[in-house]
A and B are shown apart, each in its own frame.
Chain A
Amino acid sequence: DVKVTQSSRYLVKRTGEKVFLECVQDMDHENMFWYRQDPGLGLRLIYFSYDVKMKEKGDIPEGYSVSREKKERFSLILESASTNQTSMYLCASSLLAEEYYGYTFGSGTRLTVV
């Protein structure tokens, strides 16, 4: 089974802190994604990456950056955490193939910024 591992299940950070959310996948997937999930808003795409050192902005990139130095690892960075970034963060990966079977998700990181 493909596994996508997010380093923290719960995280509490202070306003203004720099926060790193880590995601690692073990099946050589090309694409990796960061979403945030909020009640009533569904999943909104923050950033994605289709190759090492490549990144594309999603729908809500403001206040976030990403890093992909190795194919298996995709990090989400909150440069200066704010309370409105309190949310559930989901990492996902997918394989580029003729037949597409969707994402494999990590189990999420619930981030609280106080």
Chain B
Amino acid sequence: AQTVTQSQPEMSVQEAETVTLSCTYDTSESDYYLFWYKQPPSRQMILVIRQEAYKQQNATENRFSVNFQKAAKSFSLKISDSQLGDAAMYFCAYRSRGDDKIIFGKGTRLHILP
């Protein structure tokens, strides 16, 4: 069975600094999607970034980028120029192309220090 592991339950970063959230996953599939979701205090889960496994190029969305290492089964999220609004719970997630459902990690709570 596929699993997603986020080894950092909580992290803190100074405003305007860069922070990296770690994620590893376990799968025997070769074709899949990876996601980072953000859940702010409002509770609304928002898709931050998405990566297709067959694309070697790392996805980027403005200040958010990923480091996708397929062989190592690693998918870290880098947030540059951290802002107070980035404070949230971040979930790493996986979906096999042939499956209907997404598997989530346990989350990393990110604090932004002013």
Query: What residues make up the interface of A, taking CB atoms closer than 8 Å to B?
Result: 31, 33, 35, 40-43, 45, 48, 50, 56, 58, 88, 90, 92, 94, 100-103, 105, 107-108
Q: Mark B31-52, 1 if CB is under 8 A from A, else 0.
A: 0010101000011110100100
CB contacts between A and B, total, < 8 Å = 46
Q: Is the CB of A100 within 8 A of B97?
A: yes
* B101 adjacent to A33 (CB under 8 Å): yes
In the complex, residue of chain A having the shortest beta-carbon distance to the beta carbon of B44: A107
Check A102/B47 contact, CB under 8 A, given A48-B100, A50-B100, A58-B101.
yes
Q: Is the interface of B mostly helix, strand, loop or mixed?
A: loop
- Chain B residues in 8 Å Cβ range of A103: 45, 47, 102
> Looking across the interface, which residue of chain B has its beta carbon closest to that of A38?
B106
Contacts of B93 in A (CB 8 A): 102
Q: Which residues of A contact B35 (CB under 8 A)?
A: 102
Query: What is the bound-complex CA distance between A102 and B9, given in angstroms?
Result: 23
Cβ contacts A to B, 7 pairs, < 8 Å:
A43-B104, A45-B101, A48-B101, A56-B100, A100-B95, A103-B47, A105-B44
Residue B75, interface by CB 8 Å? no
Given contact pairs A88-B43, A100-B95, A101-B47, A41 touches B106 in the complex (Cβ within 8 A):
yes
Chain A residues with CB under 8 Å of B9's CB are 40
Using known A-B contacts A88-B43, A108-B43, determine if residue A102 contacts B50 with beta carbons closer than 8 Å.
Answer: yes
Q: Which residues of chain B come closer than 8 Å to A108, judged between CB atoms?
A: 43-44
> Cβ of B25 < 8 Å from any Cβ of A?
no
Which chain A positions have C-beta within 8 A of B104? 35, 42-43
